């Protein structure tokens, strides 16, 4: 059912919960997993550091999947997360989009939950959201 899973990574501690869940799901469905992160930097120094951290984060997650004999690849983009996530999904052949949420409430959800909120309203793919631990 889920041949190709897009796993949106936050590159923060909340990722652990969704990564573990996707590992089990991918084993059951013999899925390929593509890890994706958006670097949203405001300065060149911040951009350089964030890209290095992103590559390390995605490589580590890919290694976890590969260790479980799950085919995994990764990519990242730079820019506005909401726009780039929607662009990644548009016209893709992913069967499922998975991501961890921060579990913000109230005004924090409005400010910090933009990607998950946007996906709920604009994605035409099935979405798996799992609240991550902070």
Between 3.40.50.80, 3.30.56.10, 3.40.50.620, 3.40.50.980, what CATH number should domain 4-131 receive?
A: 3.40.50.620
- What pTM value is reported for the model? 0.89
Q: How confident is the model at residue 96 (pLDDT cuts 50, 70, 90)?
A: very high
Q: Do 132 and 18 meet the contact criterion of CB atoms below 8 Å apart? A: yes
Euclidean distance between CA atoms 17 and 99, whole angstroms: 9
For the chain, what is the mean pLDDT? 88
Task: Give residue 133's pLDDT.
Answer: 66
Secondary structure element (H or E) that encloses residue 65, with its range:
helix 44-67
| Total count of residues recorded for the chain | 134
- Say which residue, 44 or 117, is predicted with more confidence: 44
């Amino acid at each position: 059912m889920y041949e190709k899973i897009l796993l949106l990574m936050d590159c923060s501690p909340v990722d652990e919960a969704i990564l573990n869940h996707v590992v089990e799901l991918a084993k059951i469905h013999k899925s390929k997993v593509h890890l994706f992160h958006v670097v949203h930097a405001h300065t060149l120094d911040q951009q350089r550091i964030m890209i290095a951290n992103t590559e390390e984060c995605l490589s580590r997650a890919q290694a976890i999947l590969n260790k479980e004999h799950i085919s995994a690849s990764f990519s990242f983009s730079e820019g506005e997360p909401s726009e780039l996530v929607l662009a990644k999904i548009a016209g893709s052949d992913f069967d499922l989009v998975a991501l961890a949420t921060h579990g913000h409430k109230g005004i924090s959800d409005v400010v910090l939950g933009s990607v998950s909120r946007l996906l709920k309203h604009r994605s035409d793919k099935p979405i798996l959201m799992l609240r991550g631990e902070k």
